[in-house]
Structure 1
């Protein structure tokens, strides 16, 4: 089973955003969608989530057309974490996460539904906030609630649109570790729109680079991260190093200046 996007095109009015995008993410794969602002990362996640409808192309999972699937059934397969989301003013964290069970709930939540919600809250480190109104949370805390809600949905495909943008470094790492463990342990296919190339290289096993609405690189980060290509796409001279610890990308401006022959480093006073 895999998530497959074929020949997807999309435009906002007459401004093309995606032009014939093709990609495949294997079952249990963790794929990073990369590219500068305006390259189409968020638009593509919204199309798969059915927030937006493409002008052309198909999206399928395990051979099933996700764009033609009834909404409730689609929600049993795909969960989506937007960059931010409004919630009812008086809704608590637990109530917000329980919304993730909506595609599975009959007349009322079961004991099993509540156990899944509690496990998701615990997984995201939100237990102490579970009864707090969403209106009292910081942006980073609210973002973790959205991720917990998506996991409570128990999807086969998890879409995340820049989920770490509002998080501090600790929670960025913990969130990416959680998503990686979900893909490896539960076989969930994850697609994350993200800006941090080094986080993508460390946590993801596939990197898809978009530029001008087209896929210009697709593969393991060690293969997809080409110095010349990244420099062109981002408009910045970068260096890519490969070693036992993995792949690292950094601006060329941060490279140490080599010493000229016959000179020695200055000693500090």
Structure 2
């Protein structure tokens, strides 16, 4: 059951944001959506989440067009992690994560609903914060609550819009590890809009590079990351180093003195 995006186009009046997006992500794959600001990666995740409506195109999963099925059915299939939280501040962490069970709950949450909530809280390292209010959390902690809420939804498709941007390095890595584990153990298809090319190369099965609203590269990171293409997309000369199935992207060293510090990987804040 692949996620199949066909002919998706989106824009605001005369301004085109996405043009002719055709994309297939296999069941259980972890796919990175990459590209500079304004390339369309966040817009694509919002279309898949049905926050935005495309001008044309279809998004199919398990034989159904996700853009046209009832909203409740869509919510049982797809969960979305935005860049920031808009949940009411008076909610506790536990209550906020319970919101992810909304598509599944009848009149009242069941014991299983609470079990799923507690499992998601533990998985994101939030156990000590479960009774804290969201207003008391740091930005990074609140972002992890959003991810826990999405996991509590038990989706078949997980969408993440730059979820690691507010996290320190430790929690960036832990979050990406968690998502990769979920895709492999539960067969969840995940798409993440992300800036860090090397994080994408290390954790993701598929890399989709967008530029000017179009897909310019698509495949395993070791194949999709080409120095010439990346240089054109980011406007920066880069070096792509490969070792087996691993790949590392760095800015080219321009006029560096011997022994100079090695530059940081491209895309890492």
**Same-fold status (TM-score > 0.5):** yes
Matched, 1:53 2:53: yes
What value does the CA root-mean-square deviation take over the aligned residues? 1.3
Cross-structure match for 1:250: 250
The residue aligned with 1:67 is 67
Higher radius of gyration, 1 or 2: 1
- Structure-1 separation of matches of 2:258 and 2:111: 64
User: Structure 1-normalised TM-score?
Assistant: 0.94
Match of 1:232, SS? helix
Equivalent-residue separation in structure 2 for 1:124 and 1:255 (angstroms):
43
1:169 aligns with 2:185: no
Aligned residue pairs, count: 259
2:28 paired with 1:32? no
Q: How does 1:113-192 map to 2 (within 5 A)?
A: 113-192=113-192
Deviation by residue 1:203-254 (Cα, 9 ceiling, x = unmatched): 0010000000000000000000000000000000000000147100000037
Residue segments in structure 2 that go unaligned for 5+ positions in a row: 260-269
Mapping for residues 64-103 of structure 1, pairs under 5 Å: 64-103=64-103
Q: 1: CA distance between counterparts of 2:258 and 2:143?
A: 43
- Per-residue CA deviations over 1:27-60 (Å, capped at 9, x if unaligned) read 0000000000000000000000000000111111
**2:104 alignment partner, SS class:** coil
Contact 2:180–2:203 (Cα < 8 Å) also in 1: yes
Aligned match of 1:241: 241
State the partner residue of 1:266. Answer: none
Name whichever of 91-100 and 56-65 sits farther off: 56-65
Q: Which residue of 2 is the match for residue 225 of structure 1?
A: 225
Q: Which residue of the partner structure matches residue 266 of structure 2?
A: none
Q: Alpha-carbon deviations, 1:175-200, whole Å to 9, x = none?
A: 00000000000000000000000000
CA distance in 2, matches of 1:53, 1:251: 37
How far does the alpha carbon of each residue in 1:81-127 deviate from its partner, in whole angstroms, 9 at most, with x for none?
Answer: 00012111210000000000000001100000000000000000000
**1:104 matched residue in structure 2:** 104
User: Is 2:27–2:187's contact at 8 Å kept on the other side of the alignment?
Assistant: yes
Runs of 4+ in structure 1 deviating by more than 6 angstroms, as ranges, are none
Residues 255/146 of structure 1: CA separation in 2 closer, same or farther (3 Å cut): farther
Structure 1: gaps spanning 5 or more residues: 260-269
Q: Following TM superposition, by how much is the alpha carbon of 1:62 offset from its aligned partner in structure 2, in angstroms?
A: 1.6
User: CA separation in 2, counterparts of 1:255 and 1:2?
Assistant: 46
